[in-house]
Chains A and B, each alone.
Chain A
Amino acid sequence: MTDLHTSTLTELAAGLRARRFSSVELVRACLDRIEASQGTLNAFISVTRDSALREAAAADAALAAGGGGPLTGVPIAHKDLFCTQGVRTSCGSRMLDNFVSPYDATVVARLKAAGAVMVGKTNMDEFAMGSSNETSYYGPVRNPWDTSLVPGGSSGGSAAAVAARLVPAATATDTGGSIRQPAALCGITGIKPTYGRVSRYGMVAFASSLDQGGVLATTAADAALVLREMAGFDVNDSTSVDVPVPDYVAALEQPLGGLKVGVLKEFFDKGLDPKNEERVRESLRVYERLGATLTEVSLPNLPLSVPVYYVVAPAECSSNLARFDGVRFGHRCENPRDLQDLYRRSRAEGFGAEVKRRIMTGTYVLSAGYYDAYYLKAQRVRQLINADFVRAFQSVDVLIGPTTPTPAFALGAKTADPVTMYLNDIYTIGANLAGLPAVSLPCGFVDGLPVGLQIVGPHFSEARVLQAAHAYQRATDWHARVPRGYA
């Protein structure tokens, strides 16, 4: 039983089907590891031991009867912004500390239908606003590679949980890099799908034109398996796209020969740590050996993606978070004098400092007299960035570069200056603005810390980017490295 936690999700699903071990054994092992790590990593906000063991027993019964789906009995964790019926969905905020969702998010329902067993809800930056998991009301998550460092954010709990092998996979969301950046900083694999590929129904909204659910796992093959089960059209999400979901798992083994890789000039800027750059350049040589051809491409407007994001995302955030009024759900202040006082104090007490900063930035850029100068201007530059990507994908199949400028940084290192923190997402935001699928996968180490490689593809090319990540993982073993103390 000692090697279950270092097995991939694909191996675990096969082992369960072959009845080599039971779901109850596997789920109990996960729960024990989660509870043992909680004081150090703080990766979870809620652990659902009782329901997980009940679901595991039901999974074992289904498997014994010859039934079950592709994920039957496999433990997974959900980022705590996916609504889970009957289980607190806090979004990392005091505002929703008392919120028990009356329904399941579509992602949660689909993974449940595929047989997955939820073991808990993972910690995250408050309302997914952060790049270090330090804005959570429930305290920061720590990086399993070095607990003095951040795991990245906003899906820091999901990333730390997978990196420490507490769970084989976890759901996550990505608005400006919140799947890929923590994947890079924790040495695991994460995919942000095309906008509209995964339903946003039951995902607490941050910036609706950018938010997209995805997966964190240890391998691209595992991410492909989970994504296949969670993706697809949903009538409950008005921006869900009615395009069939290919079998990402079956597509993994297609040969890479002839893959045209664009090496994005703007990703190798002066902000990129030279040691990170070395790891990424070495990975590009691996792709050449695998039969890919490399071409340098330029997206001249891409350096403006962070400023565009910090207009568009706060604007959408200020609108989405207007729903928290202290009346229908969420935190309500004591003894309000009048209705305005109820709104103003409930929101002031319920939201943390970074969420307030984004609400206020958004309120300002949308306010009378500033809308054209900031919001419409940002939407126009967003169009230019999108046009750059469209042009690049006329000549290459995928774009490859670093996921982040540096490896993981120390807790507290970037909290004083919001703009410094925002620049962490400089290589990831472009894919959100253009709605593109992108993967981050481990590509080596700098001073003992993992480095992430990012692969971005055109709309609905998840199969291609996962295939490219999988081929790299067949040729290297960075993804199989486990932080000391968690092996």
Chain B
Amino acid sequence: MALTREQIASIAALARLDLSSSEILVYQNSLSSILDFIGALDAADTADVTPMAHPLPGMSQRLRPDVVTEADHHEQYQQNATQVAAGLYLVPKVIE
């Protein structure tokens, strides 16, 4: 299935990826060939088949008691952030 330049630009926008026009062309070709490849799935008869979301059938999501288990490590964690001030992460102005 051939994707258009506009579709690639729209996917990139959804994925929050800035792409150059030459990259758009590259992904237009490769995503189209990937979609052709995964099109092989259409041939499988999956009527009445339950989608498999988890590789261990019958396992359900384990929950923990709703109690605080983490100490405050924000100073340590924020050492990996490029811009921090007064214990806060800095981002460009969101509200004018």
A residues with a Cβ closer than 8 A to B are: 98-100, 102, 194-196, 209-210, 235, 238-239, 241, 301, 304, 306-308, 310-311, 318, 322, 325-330, 332, 336-345, 347-348, 351, 353, 356-357, 359-361, 363-365, 367, 374, 376-384, 386, 417-419, 422, 432-435, 459
The answer to whether B46 touches A381 (Cβ under 8 A) is: yes
| Chain A: CB-nearest residue to B48 | A380
The answer to whether B80 touches A435 (Cβ under 8 A) is: no
The answer to whether B16 touches A343 (Cβ under 8 A) is: yes
The answer to whether A235 touches B64 (Cβ under 8 A) is: yes
Q: Can you list 8 contacts pairing A with B, beta carbon distance less than 8 Å?
A: A100-B79, A209-B54, A310-B37, A332-B83, A347-B17, A360-B15, A365-B38, A367-B11
Question: Which of these, B3, B41, B61, contacts A378 with CB under 8 Å?
Answer: B41
Q: A301-B44, A363-B11, A364-B11 are in contact. Are A374 and B92 (CB under 8 A)?
A: no
| Chain A: CB-nearest residue to B12 | A360
The answer to whether B52 touches A379 (Cβ under 8 A) is: yes
| Chain B: CB-nearest residue to A240 | B62
Q: A241-B59, A364-B11, A384-B49 are in contact. Are A357 and B31 (CB under 8 A)?
A: yes
**B19 at interface, CB cutoff 8 A:** yes
The 8 A CB mask of B1-38 against A (1 = contact, 0 = none) is 00100001001101111110001001100110111011
In the assembled complex, the Cα of A432 lies from the Cα of B54 at a distance in Å of: 11
The answer to whether B41 touches A308 (Cβ under 8 A) is: yes
CB distance from B24 to the nearest CB of A (A): 10
Q: A344-B18, A348-B19 are in contact. Are A196 and B56 (CB under 8 A)?
A: yes
In the assembled complex, the Cα of A339 lies from the Cα of B94 at a distance in Å of: 7
For the residues of B in contact with A, the DSSP-based class is: loop
Which A residues touch B31, using CB under 8 A?
357, 360-361, 364
The answer to whether B40 touches A307 (Cβ under 8 A) is: yes
The answer to whether B17 touches A380 (Cβ under 8 A) is: no
| Chain B: CB-nearest residue to A363 | B15
Which A residues touch B80, using CB under 8 A?
98-100, 102, 328-330
The answer to whether A342 touches B51 (Cβ under 8 A) is: no
For the residues of A in contact with B, the DSSP-based class is: helix
Which B residues touch A365, using CB under 8 A?
38
CB distance from A419 to the nearest CB of B (A): 5
Which B residues touch A353, using CB under 8 A?
23, 26
Which B residues touch A343, using CB under 8 A?
16
The answer to whether A419 touches B37 (Cβ under 8 A) is: yes
The answer to whether A342 touches B91 (Cβ under 8 A) is: yes
Which B residues touch A195, using CB under 8 A?
55-56
In the assembled complex, the Cα of A382 lies from the Cα of B56 at a distance in Å of: 12
| Chain B: CB-nearest residue to A241 | B56
CB distance from A67 to the nearest CB of B (A): 30
Starting from the known contacts A356-B23, A383-B50, A433-B55, 16 additional A-B residue pairs (CB-CB under 8 Å) come to A239-B54, A241-B59, A328-B80, A329-B80, A339-B94, A347-B17, A347-B18, A356-B19, A359-B17, A365-B38, A379-B52, A380-B46, A383-B49, A384-B46, A422-B37, A435-B55
Q: A311-B41, A344-B17, A380-B50 are in contact. Are A328 and B56 (CB under 8 A)?
A: no
In the assembled complex, the Cα of A128 lies from the Cα of B57 at a distance in Å of: 26
The answer to whether B91 touches A327 (Cβ under 8 A) is: yes
In the assembled complex, the Cα of A322 lies from the Cα of B64 at a distance in Å of: 25
Which A residues touch B40, using CB under 8 A?
304, 307
Question: Which of these, A98, A344, A374, contacts B38 with CB under 8 Å?
Answer: A374
In the assembled complex, the Cα of A411 lies from the Cα of B12 at a distance in Å of: 29
CB distance from A375 to the nearest CB of B (A): 8
The answer to whether A379 touches B37 (Cβ under 8 A) is: no
In the assembled complex, the Cα of A364 lies from the Cα of B52 at a distance in Å of: 20
Which B residues touch A361, using CB under 8 A?
31, 34
The answer to whether B51 touches A376 (Cβ under 8 A) is: yes
The answer to whether A339 touches B91 (Cβ under 8 A) is: yes
CB distance from A129 to the nearest CB of B (A): 13
| Chain B: CB-nearest residue to A340 | B16
Which A residues touch B82, using CB under 8 A?
98, 326, 332
Which B residues touch A433, using CB under 8 A?
55
Question: Which of these, B16, B41, B46, B77, contacts A347 with CB under 8 Å?
Answer: B16
In the assembled complex, the Cα of A357 lies from the Cα of B23 at a distance in Å of: 10
Which A residues touch B55, using CB under 8 A?
195-196, 209-210, 386, 432-435
